[in-house]
Amino acid sequence: MIAKPSEERLLIALQKKGRLADDSFALLKACGLRFAIRGGGLLARVKNMPVDLLLVRDDDIPSFVSNDAADIGIVGENVLVEEQLTGELDAQIAMRLGFSRCRLCLAAPERGTVQSADDLSSTRIATTYPGVTRRFLSERGIDAKLVEMKGAVELAPSIGVAESICDLVSSGATLEANGLAAFETILESEAVLIRSTRALPAAKADLLDKLLRRIEGVTTSSGSKYIMLNAPKAEVDAISALLPGSDAPTVMPLAGRDDMVAVQAVCTETVFWETLEDLKALGARAILVLPIEKLMS
């Protein structure tokens, strides 16, 4: 039913619907891929590049990449690591993408019998991540029983099937609503781009390289700003040192001013109001902070 990847068109497996989907689509669009996602289709064709999108459930993405049903995929690191630990998988991280961040945490009822990892021995832990949970328990030498669930793990303690849970947490609202408190993070996760260890045909390898460079450009530029200001010549070093995440700023003469210069720099870290105030205190004037749409170094 699912076509094997062709020799020329790069096939990217993406979550069709869910927490990863919109950011994955947005990232590819920011990389210049033009496509439309409609209705129940399994495949979406990219109009301006030899790329196709395979739209599936996130849990299937690592095995599709491993089994050549897709060339690359975007999935949560939590799913990748779980699949790596529970099956034979030829899939590895090609690039971290920085979105869909969450933590896989052990949590238990507030004021219950389990308050820390030290209390887990001989208790039951409910989870949809048996592989990662088991790894943690064996690293710590803890002998506990796993209760595998398909969902609604946060209900396990209240219905009496487990003393604690191991589940994904982002805001913490679900734990709180169920009277649970996290006491240990066993995995930090974000969306990752994955591929197998096998070589791709040359044309697709070039395409993947190009895509990775563009993703790098999009992810670096999204937090970056271009800063322009006029500075007293004597303070250029001090002012440059304040610019967050920039290495060599461009310093240029200002027409008709011997004592002042123009400074321009790419800042790869957040430029806070406090930084601008500190720059001003050093004599910087006409400070402009501009968003950067694309960045390629």
Site of interaction with ligand PRT (CB under 6 A): 15, 18-20, 57-59, 76, 78-79, 100, 102, 167-174, 189
Shortest spacing between CB 58 and ligand PRT, in angstroms: 4
**For residue 146, what are the β-bridge partners?**
125
Residue closer to Zn ion, measured from CB, 82 or 163: 82
By a kind-dependent CB cut-off of 5 to 8 A, residue 100 interacts, out of Zn ion, ligand PRT, none, with ligand PRT
Which tokens go with 265?
Answer: 């720099």
Which residue number places its CB atom closest to ligand PRT?
Answer: 76
By a kind-dependent CB cut-off of 5 to 8 A, residue 15 interacts, out of Zn ion, ligand PRT, none, with ligand PRT
> What does the alpha-carbon distance between residue 279 and residue 14 come to, in Å, rounded to a whole number?
44
> Is-contact 10 204, C-beta < 8 A?
yes
> Is-contact 52 10, C-beta < 8 A?
yes
Other Cβ atoms within 10 Å of 66 Cβ, number = 23
Shortest spacing between CB 105 and ligand PRT, in angstroms: 9
Residue closer to ligand PRT, measured from CB, 5 or 76: 76
Helices 21-30 & 202-222 angle (0-180, nearest 10): 100
By a kind-dependent CB cut-off of 5 to 8 A, residue 20 interacts, out of Zn ion, ligand PRT, none, with ligand PRT
Shortest spacing between CB 93 and Zn ion, in angstroms: 18
Distances (CA, A) of 274 to 269, 271, 277, 289: 13, 8, 5, 13
Residue closer to ligand PRT, measured from CB, 163 or 167: 167
In 3D space, the residue among 98, 99, 123 whose CA is nearest the CA of residue 113 turns out to be 123
Shortest spacing between CB 188 and ligand PRT, in angstroms: 11
Shortest spacing between CB 60 and Zn ion, in angstroms: 8
Question: Which residue's entry shows tokens 């990748």?
Answer: 80
Residue closer to ligand PRT, measured from CB, 149 or 227: 149
**Burial per residue of 86-108, b for 16 or more beta-carbon CB atoms within 10 angstroms, e otherwise:** eeebebeebbebebbebbbbbbb
Which parts of this chain interact with Zn ion (CB under 5 A)?
58-59
Residue closer to Zn ion, measured from CB, 23 or 59: 59
